[in-house]
Amino acid sequence: MAAKGRRLSGKVALITGASGGQGLAGGRLFAREGATVVLADIEELAGRKLAAEITDAGGSAVFMPLDVGSEGAWKHVIDTIMKEYGGLHCLVNNAGVVSRSGIMQVSSDEWERVHKVNLDGPLYGMRAAAPAIRASGGGAIVNISSTAGLIAHAGAAYCSSKWALRGLTKTAALEFADWGIRVNSVHPGQVIDTRIADGATAAYRNITTLMTPMGRGAQSEEIAQVVLFLCSDEASYINGAEIPVDAGYCSIGLPRLRQKLIHDEETRAAPQP
């Protein structure tokens, strides 16, 4: 596997939701940068296929089945990592599910399922992994939230879980600072090559693209590059931060759309030659 910068050389990294999308891109990228990557997911076939692909290309990766909503499963995975590799330096809480139901429509089962994965999973993960990272000399945790954790979103369960994860990240940064563990959250905009994006309607995807200043959705590797940076020593002074990776969607998306609509309105109102 071709080395790029080897920014994670000698480090052991655990990535959840690693069988596809952003987790898959992160696994490949972390391995290229020298990490021993533990790919965790409930989808074993795709996860084992990715681990084999990385290994065949000269990287170091292993798949471990993990239901992030099970605290016992987390303990088993962390114990196995420490036994097999003798350390853990990075945790990426990437596993997530989406719900597009509003307050009046979301069922109790759907509410609980979304929060179990998106919020309980990172809680259990940090609780299990932080002592191991501390014992390994410190490191980094990155929680994958969403722009839905920064602004309003129509999906009640998804939005609330991602806002809560944003707050949980700051509590973790506060609690683990003395352990030499940095904890940050990443807030992707629309990422085109993920199951979450595939589940949206064409109209939703098209309008979101229209409101995105760069006029396109992100590639998974563009998100993974930011996660890599936060896990590397290059980000040694970044802690408790929330980083949008959204092409300016949250900060300038609405003013940009307003400019476009004003231009279109003025063009229609202008006298025709």
CATH number of the domain to which 144 belongs: 3.40.50.720
- Tens of pLDDT along 226-272? 999 999 999 999 999 999 999 999 999 989 889 988 988 999 888 88
**pLDDT tier for residue 3 given thresholds of 50, 70 and 90:** very low
* Burial class of residue 145, CB neighbours in 10 A (0-12, 13-18, 19+): buried
Would residue 258 count as lying in a domain?
A: no
The number of folded domains in the chain is: 1
Q: 97 with 118: CB under 8 angstroms?
A: yes
In which domain, by residue range, is 191 found?
A: 12-206+218-251
Q: How many CA atoms lie within 13 A of 111 on its CB side?
A: 9
pLDDT at 197: 61
Whether 195 has a pLDDT exceeding 70, the answer reads no
Would residue 3 count as lying in a domain?
A: no
Position with higher pLDDT, 3 vs 95: 95
The partner residues of 16 in beta bridges, in order of sequence, read 40
Tokens of 258: 């307003």
CA distance 48 to 54: 10
Please state, rounded to an integer, the average pLDDT across all residues of the chain.
94
Would residue 256 count as lying in a domain?
A: no
Burial call 108-136: b when 16+ CB within 10 Å, e when fewer: eebbeebbbbbbbbbbbbbebbbbbbbeb
Would residue 1 count as lying in a domain?
A: no
Would residue 268 count as lying in a domain?
A: no
- Tens of pLDDT along 52-95? 999 999 999 999 999 999 999 999 999 999 999 999 999 999 99
Would residue 271 count as lying in a domain?
A: no
Question: What's this model's pTM, rounded to 2 decimal places?
Answer: 0.93
**What is the arithmetic mean of pLDDT over 132-148?**
98
Q: Exactly one of 124, 158, 204, 249 is catalytic; which is it?
A: 158
Would residue 259 count as lying in a domain?
A: no
- Whether 85 sits among the annotated catalytic residues: the reply is no
Q: 23 with 41: CB under 8 angstroms?
A: yes
